[in-house]
Amino acid sequence: MQARASSNASTQQTTPVRSTGPLVTAALVLGALNFLVPGFWAYIAPSHFQSVVAPWASLGEHFLRDGGAFSIGFGISVVAALFWRDAITVVLIGISVAALLHAISHAIDADYLAAAFLGALGILYAVACVARVRSERQSGVTNQTQPM
């Protein structure tokens, strides 16, 4: 582990910079792909996804798109974990993406009231994430990791 001097000169603290090893990085990349690939597939082409993955089932496109949105949010969280060590930041990134894509899914199906509500939640999560990152930076805390 390396130590990085804080940008806050008054405290002169050092914050360790975490580096993930190759096994952890590989597991996180594989985990991200495990959620992102089927997530984008279900979100972008729900009928095709259903015909390949579960041709015997009768599933609604809306629910497949919703599942894709949540899967993409999980995958983005895994990717974010490669770059941020702060769990709150990682979670806010993931739920922001999932909520905004979920809102778009409702807008596609002309459910505008739900789309507006879910979009507002997604924006709230994104704003909270930006506020969290700014607050951490201003306090001199280094929350980014160095993959491998």
Query: Which pLDDT value is given to residue 9?
Result: 45
| 52, part of any domain | yes
Q: How far is CA 7 from the centre of its chain?
A: 27
Query: Which pLDDT value is given to residue 87?
Result: 94
| 65, part of any domain | yes
User: Per-residue pLDDT tens for 97-140?
Assistant: 999 999 999 999 888 999 999 999 999 999 999 999 999 888 87
| 7, part of any domain | no
User: Per-residue pLDDT tens for 31-75?
Assistant: 999 999 999 999 999 999 999 988 887 778 899 999 999 999 999
Q: How far apart are CA 137 and CA 148, in angstroms?
A: 23
| 70, part of any domain | yes
Question: Which residues, including other chains, have CB under 8 Å from residue 145's CB and lie 6 or more apart?
Answer: 17, 18, 19, 20, 82, 83, 84, 85
Domain of 99, in residue numbers: 32-138
Domains held by the chain: number: 1
| 107, part of any domain | yes
What confidence tier does 142 reach under pLDDT thresholds 50, 70, 90?
A: low
Query: Which pLDDT value is given to residue 57?
Result: 78
